[in-house]
């Protein structure tokens, strides 16, 4: 099955929410864990136990594992392996973006199904030119994986690039239009998604890309169900709201984490 098909099936089975695994120092402390590889390992293992086969998408943030060096990357690799093929899809948040053979190497590292850290999908940055992402799309297509491209992020520095005008579109609008072209005709939706923040305010760009829309900023960062309904309107069925602290603050109890994720899904489905 294509990533678009698997994503739609997972959303129908579990609800649309994506739960982030963001083991930053403050959260480790809140869980009573040391800010060490050992604490990281316990945190990640608890998240796997809580969310595997319980939510549609789980999104490990690579940076919070990488900060512990090689041993942290080993934990990330094991976390991805433990999550995959459980019913939950792994979206690895790495935001890679490069050109030529380097982009190809990143694509092979994260999207080739035989790679040690292969995920169901990854996040990438298009701001070296949309064409620089072609190796990611090629490897994703070969392996039935997905790619989420940064389009309209909610960080305050984003608009200076994303809202800049190129031709008759904003830069973000051009990214979205090219994703729509890649996804044209795909059923039930394409494999190539966009990252659009829940707290961007308003979106004048066309979000109908026939692909999944990964929406960070929901929950603890201020994004609400009302924001999602207002921003995404007719394409809301393709929206994957992402939350980390809003769910993870219920830990480290496994059942409390599951209950927290279930409440988020119930709120979203009820909208």
CA distance from start to end of the chain: 29
User: CA-to-CA distance for 120 and 223, rounded, in angstroms?
Assistant: 25
Instruction: Clarify whether 142 is annotated catalytic.
Output: no
Please write down the HEC assignment for all residues of the chain.
CCHHHHHHHHHHHHCCCEEEECCCHHHHHHCCCCCCHHHHHHHHHHHHHHHCCCCCEEEEEHHHHHCCCHHHHHHHHHHHHHHCCCCCEEEEEEEECCCHHHHHHHHHHHHCCCCCCCCCEEEECCCCCHHHHHHHHHHHHHHCCEEEEEEECCCCCCHHHHCCEECCEEHHHHHHHHHHHHHCCCCCCCCEEEEECCCCCCCCCCCCCCCCEEECCECCCCECHHHHHHHHHHHHHHEEEEECHHHHCCCCCHHHHHHHHHHHHHHHHHC
User: CA-to-CA distance for 38 and 53, rounded, in angstroms?
Assistant: 25
Catalytic one of 24, 78, 95, 263: 95
Strands 169-170 and 165-166: antiparallel
Active site residues: 95
């Amino acid at each position: 099955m294509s990533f678009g098909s698997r994503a739609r099936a997972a959303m129908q089975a579990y609800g649309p929410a994506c739960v982030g695994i963001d083991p930053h120092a403050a959260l480790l402390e809140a869980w009573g864990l040391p800010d060490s590889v050992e604490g990281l390992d316990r945190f990640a293992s608890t998240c796997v136990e809580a969310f595997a086969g319980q939510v549609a998408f789980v999104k490990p943030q690579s940076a919070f594992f990488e900060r512990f060096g090689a041993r942290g990357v080993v934990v990330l690799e094991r976390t991805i392996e433990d999550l995959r093929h459980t019913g939950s899809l792994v979206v690895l948040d790495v935001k890679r973006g490069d050109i030529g053979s380097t982009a190809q190497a990143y694509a092979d590292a994260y999207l080739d199904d035989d790679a040690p850290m292969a995920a169901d999908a990854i996040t990438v940055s298009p701001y070296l030119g949309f064409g620089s992402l072609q190796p990611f799309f090629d490897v994703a297509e070969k392996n039935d994986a997905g790619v989420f491209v940064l389009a309209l992020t909610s960080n305050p520095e984003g608009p200076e690039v994303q809202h800049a005008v190129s031709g008759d579109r904003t830069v973000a609008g051009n990214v979205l239009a090219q994703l729509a072209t890649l996804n044209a005709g795909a059923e039930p939706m394409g494999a190539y998604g966009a990252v659009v923040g829940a707290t961007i305010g308003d979106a004048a760009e066309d979000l109908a890309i026939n692909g999944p829309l990964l929406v960070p900023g929901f929950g603890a960062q201020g994004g609400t169900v009302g924001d999602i309904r207002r921003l995404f309107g007719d394409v809301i069925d393709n929206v994957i709201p992402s939350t980390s602290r809003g769910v993870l603050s219920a830990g480290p109890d496994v059942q409390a984490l599951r209950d927290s994720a279930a409440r988020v899904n119930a709120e979203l489905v009820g909208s």
